[in-house]
């Protein structure tokens, strides 16, 4: 169950980054958060998922 969570968080992070890269935004509110915050949230989620993946596969 835990490994599914960090994979899902990584995908959500990619979605936030893709939303920041588009003109209209992919989130329901468009760019309601603002592009900069979408990039920050997306990078944080992708970084966390990468960290968990590294810990999972190096055991």
The packing angle between helices 2-21 and 35-57, to 10°, is: 150
Q: What is the DSSP letter of 34?
A: -
Q: 51 or 27, which is more confident?
A: 51
For residue 46, pLDDT beyond 70: yes
Mean pLDDT of 29-43: 88
Q: 4 or 44, which is more confident?
A: 44
Backbone angles phi, psi at 27, to 5 degrees: -80, 155
Tell me how far the alpha carbon of residue 24 is from its chain's centroid. 18
């Amino acid at each position: 169950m835990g490994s599914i969570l960090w994979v899902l968080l990584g995908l959500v992070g990619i979605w936030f980054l893709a939303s920041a890269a588009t003109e209209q935004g992919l989130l329901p509110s468009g760019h309601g958060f603002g592009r900069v915050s979408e990039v920050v949230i997306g990078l944080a989620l992708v970084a966390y998922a990468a960290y968990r993946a590294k810990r999972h596969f190096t055991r």
